[in-house]
Structure 1
Amino acid sequence: MKIGSRTIKTAIGTPISMTIAQLLGLTNFVSAGILTILCIQPSRKKSVLSAWHRFLACIIAAVFAVVFFETIAYNPVVVGIILALFIPVTVYLKITPGIATSSVIILNFFGEGGISLSFILDQFILILIGIGVGLLVNVYMPSMEKQLREKQDELENNFQVILEEIAAYIRDKNETWDGKELTICEDILQDAMYLVSLDRENHLLRNKHPYYDYFVMRRQQFELLQRMLPLVSRLPNTDSISRKIAAFFEKLSDAVHPGNTAVLYLDELKELRRSFDQENLPETQEEFETRANLFRLLHEIEDYLLLKKKFKKSDVSEKKRIKKTGKA
């Protein structure tokens, strides 16, 4: 069983805040530990926002407690009245994450059974310790670079399998593929975008993330792959066109990597289009539908490659491109 960093930080921060509060002689020092537990969040940004929400909610809760307990009575019914009025206020101020922590402060006032300046100061320091320690231990956030790189590798491996299976189907009408890689890609993309959002929130002063655009690009490419599948199934069984398309998909499979060599395959795609234009015009309805599906498929492939081309600067120099394709 793997223990996460959030669990470790909770286990470290809670006794620290309780010890500090106890050494300072604060009443209800255990509450400092509760406040710390509630303040530890999965990202730095959420931690800072949570700390602010909880601090503000605790101050408001202390004011409610002083006013209602002193003017009415120290009674469980009054606790209910305070919560009934206090919770809508937190909703209005958009600080609802602070409801749980501020409830601790309200109960501390109730348990004291009386209000004094020293007790109010005591609770204020308690709030600062509990929330402050939670913020401090949350400063450390493990890097997600390794996890994101693993997601990238896993996604690209599955893209390769999908393209290889498309090529096999076009060439041999191989129907043994169960399509599980499609579901796997969907899950990887979902997990990766969640990790990216967390990692972005761990860098408070950074708006862009190096993996965000990458996974957005792959998400769009994946949608295009899904649209290609029904078009591929309508291609003729065996002819020169299907063989060329199958070979092209195999090349695309080998070219799935973080770099950008899309310009080479866009040039090759143009050559494929020229060769298809030289084919005899369709004579039957079936041939016409096949040709229409073919051109739609070529359009989807072009969009697939253009997404990669726009994603980052090409890794192929113009000189190398001319040498490979023979065209400027």
Structure 2
Amino acid sequence: MGRFRIGYRTLKTAVGTAISVYIAQLLQLDYYISAGVITILCITTTKRGSLTVSIERLVSCVIGLGVASVFFELIGYNPVAVAMLFLISIPLSVAANAARGIVTSSVIVLHLYTEGQVSAGIWMNELAIIFIGIGVALIMNLYMPSSEKSLAQDQLSLEDAFRKIWEEYANYLRFGDNIWDGGEFSEAAKIIDEAKGKALRDIDNHFLRDDDYFYHYFRMREKQFSVLESILPFISSIDQSVPQGHKMADYMDELSDAVSPGNTAGYFLYRLDEMKLEIQQMELPKTRHEFEIRSSLFYILYEIEEYLLIKKMFKPDPKRTHTISGKRLNRQKARRNK
């Protein structure tokens, strides 16, 4: 059984629905309870989402009222008119990119069917219900808790996982098999997947700015993560007695220490070119085993280059980079003190 809890969206929905019904009832509107239903349907997880769905519901309701007025007056208030109404109003709503408003529109137009007539007073009543329901939902959705602190924490956790992976790669190249269970791979994959969704919701909670730093950051790390995964089988194929393997291990230790939001790719690409040149100047392989090791070394260097180029293309936010780097230093100090 799941844990019972009341989230901020549930709270906003409950309060907003009560306010809508209260206002509509205070104004003595017929079908005042429908204002609360519209509020429930218009409160979403983001500000932009709420505004978009509210506009769709408004457009669909106006289309539905217009079509219903025509068909009910021409055909009469009977099931045939209801069928004709939906056959026309639903495609019109879809054509107007207001498909999500069809359910709300259906509730509103059936009020006309219940009344058995069309008049200016009934139109005003229905429009008032619509505007109250939508208006209260938009006001309630003005407050959205910021995800920035949570995303910054995800960033730190992901960088810790990347750092551990590089450390373990280096350890394998030096010492061979170890007891590492590779748990950081599943941890990193989970963080990336959840953080990207969280970052997209955060973007949709800003009307006046497109703050997409975190989304692009986690997309960048997702691409780098694919590189880390592709390297794994080639790391395990290298004999730890190979001198170049030890040098590569030292290089990976440096990469581990440099995992951060800042961009140090230029320095590591330069160092990578030095390693490539050194391997190219080695004697040609004499056995199949030496050839396979040489191939694995070159493949790993190629993948590391891809890893670094992905980071080089990323544009860090100086303000956030400074903040995250400070938190990272505090974490490193804490680990050293343990």
What is the root-mean-square deviation in Å for CA atoms of aligned residues? 2.2
Q: Structure 1, residues 271-292: CA drift from partner, whole Å, max 9, x if none? A: 4334434433211222122112
Alignment of 1:197-216 (within 5 A): 197-216=200-219
Deviation for aligned residue 1:80? 3.6
> Which of 167, 182, 187 is the aligned partner of 1:184?
187
Could you say which residue in structure 2 is the equivalent of 1:16? 19
> Which of 296, 301, 306 is the aligned partner of 2:299?
296
Alignment of 1:2-81 (within 5 A): 2-76=5-79, 78-81=81-84
Q: What is the letter of the counterpart of residue 15 of structure 1?
A: A
The answer to whether the 8 A contact 2:203-2:212 is kept is yes
Could you say which residue in structure 1 is the equivalent of 2:87? 84
Alignment of 1:1-328 (within 5 A): 1-76=4-79, 78-174=81-177, 176-312=179-315
The answer to whether the 8 A contact 2:240-2:246 is kept is no
Q: Structure 1, residues 23-76: CA drift from partner, whole Å, max 9, x if none? A: 111111101001111111211211121111111110111112222223333334
How many residue pairs align between the two structures?
Answer: 315
SS in 2 for 1:203: coil
Deviation for aligned residue 1:175? 5.6
More deviation in 13-22 or 241-250? Answer: 241-250
CA 1:187/1:149 → structure 2, altered by over 3 Å: closer, same or farther?
same
The answer to whether the 8 A contact 2:213-2:317 is kept is no
Q: TM-score, normalised by structure 1?
A: 0.88
* Distance (Å, rounded) in 1 between the aligned partners of 2:119 and 2:41: 27
CA 1:74/1:3 → structure 2, altered by over 3 Å: closer, same or farther?
same
* Distance (Å, rounded) in 1 between the aligned partners of 2:252 and 2:317: 20
Deviation for aligned residue 1:263? 3.4
CA 1:121/1:219 → structure 2, altered by over 3 Å: closer, same or farther?
same
Q: What is the letter of the counterpart of residue 96 of structure 1?
A: A
Q: Structure 1, residues 288-313: CA drift from partner, whole Å, max 9, x if none? A: 22112211211211222233233247
* Distance (Å, rounded) in 2 between the aligned partners of 1:229 and 1:155: 18
CA 1:293/1:81 → structure 2, altered by over 3 Å: closer, same or farther?
same
The answer to whether the 8 A contact 2:63-2:92 is kept is no
Could you say which residue in structure 1 is the equivalent of 2:322? none
Deviation for aligned residue 1:19? 1.0
CA 1:241/1:314 → structure 2, altered by over 3 Å: closer, same or farther?
farther
Q: What is the letter of the counterpart of residue 297 of structure 2?
A: L
* Distance (Å, rounded) in 2 between the aligned partners of 1:273 and 1:163: 19
Q: What is the letter of the counterpart of residue 262 of structure 1?
A: A
More deviation in 247-256 or 90-99? Answer: 247-256
* Distance (Å, rounded) in 2 between the aligned partners of 1:180 and 1:91: 47
* Distance (Å, rounded) in 2 between the aligned partners of 1:212 and 1:56: 32
Q: What is the letter of the counterpart of residue 30 of structure 1?
A: I
* Distance (Å, rounded) in 2 between the aligned partners of 1:278 and 1:54: 69
SS in 2 for 1:304: helix
CA 1:83/1:62 → structure 2, altered by over 3 Å: closer, same or farther?
same
Could you say which residue in structure 2 is the equivalent of 1:322? none
Q: TM-score, normalised by structure 2?
A: 0.85
The answer to whether the 8 A contact 2:47-2:141 is kept is yes
Deviation for aligned residue 1:102? 0.5
* Distance (Å, rounded) in 2 between the aligned partners of 1:90 and 1:133: 23
Q: What is the letter of the counterpart of residue 54 of structure 1?
A: R
